[in-house]
A and B are shown apart, each in its own frame.
Chain A
Amino acid sequence: MKKYRLKLVVAFLGGSLLLASCGNNSESDKDVHQHDEGMANDHENHNHGRVNEDRELSKNVGDVKGDLSFILDDYFSLNESLVKDDASGAAKASEGLINSLKSLKTSGLSESQQKEIDEIMESAVENAEHIFENAENIKHQREHLVSLSVDIKDLITIVGTTQKLYEDFCPMADDNNGAIWISNKEAIRNPYMGSKMPECGKVQNTIN
């Protein structure tokens, strides 16, 4: 009897310890950290290849208050992944986008513009983080693309760009609430509907 009771106690204690280790986050925290480092390196290389292109661009800068090309490239590749229903590709692209957003440098902004940029950044980074964290849930990624696209649009309005861009609208996106996205191609490639209806929507505005 005594032995039996002891076993029971051991089983109980063992069980609760097991429970404790299941919820232990330290391991996954480490993973994320390593990931961050990899991300930063990637980004450096990523920037290198485009230095020349940048210089070209800065020659004809008029009202442009910062270089959005890295942010836009990552955003476009995020959209392209979603057009193809590729959630893990979208997560990867948004990882790059988080870095591009954080490394944006601007100049000549008024105080109120700077404040708005800060708010846009906070929101855009949060949206991109959700897309990054939901590589298994494309529906949730698309939900965050709705507000991310508004952030990107507002960012372009304030900072300016020399690229020719299109603001597209799909009335069926976001559970029929309708949503916009920004594209660098005139042809419609719908990131919200994906392969179901890749051409749904229309250009409602052109930039430059």
Chain B
Amino acid sequence: MKRILKKIGVALIVILVGIQFIPTNTNKQDSIPKTDFRFVYNTSRKVIDVFETSCYDCHSNNTNYPWYSNLQPMRYFMDQHTLKGKEELNFSEFETYSDRMKRNKIRSIKGQIEEDKMPLSSYLLMHPKANLTKERKDIVLTFLNSLN
């Protein structure tokens, strides 16, 4: 019994070490691109701060990586989130959307925030700062409503 357990333990350690070599994506950009959301609309520092802290990790070309992001399997999940998030909405490339798509995106952002669907609760577990308090929610919703 003991020997079997030991074998399993060794195997698991090998796997855990092995998965550390899974290739990762690094979603980082040194400067803010001209196509960024903040340049498309007249956004105040306050508004963009909220978006940056609560949305940009998964919805832009620049993720703020926490320390554990260097460990698998955590990094794998983060990469998946960022991939999917950017496909749905990318603040860094907002200018490249057509006017019709911009309108759709603004509508969706508003809906998701109003209904507390975003940021995802699983993301908030590890990023409590990203939580949209009533005050921060009001800041962005007031801004988004002013765009109509």
Contact = CB atoms under 8 A, between A and B. Distances in A.
A48 interface: no
Contacts of B73: 16, 19-20, 23
Nearest to A10: B9
Interface of A: 3, 6-7, 9-10, 13-14, 16-17, 19-20, 23, 25, 119-120, 122-123, 126-127, 140, 143, 146-147, 151
Interface string B69-86: 000010011001000000
Interface of B: 2, 5-6, 8-9, 12-13, 15-16, 19, 73, 76-77, 80, 98-101, 103-104, 107-108, 111
B7 to A, nearest CB: 10
Contacts of A143: 107-108, 111
Contacts, number: 58
Contact of B101 (A7, A17, A123): A123
A136 to B, nearest CB: 13
Contacts of B108: 143
Contacts of B103: 147
Nearest to A21: B73
A16 B80 contact: no
25 contacts: A9-B9, A10-B5, A13-B9, A13-B13, A13-B15, A14-B12, A16-B16, A16-B73, A17-B15, A20-B73, A23-B73, A23-B77, A23-B80, A119-B98, A119-B100, A122-B98, A122-B100, A123-B98, A123-B101, A126-B101, A140-B111, A146-B107, A147-B103, A147-B104, A151-B100
Contact of A6 (B6, B15, B98, B99): B6
Contacts of A140: 111
Given A23-B80, A147-B104, A17 B12 contact: yes
A135 B8 CA distance: 42
B100 A7 contact: no
> Which 7 A/B pairs are nearest by Cβ-Cβ distance?
A13-B12, A119-B98, A20-B73, A123-B100, A10-B9, A119-B100, A147-B104
A142 to B, nearest CB: 11
Contacts of A146: 107
Given A13-B12, A20-B19, A20-B73, A6 B5 contact: yes
A23 B98 CA distance: 33
B16 A122 contact: no
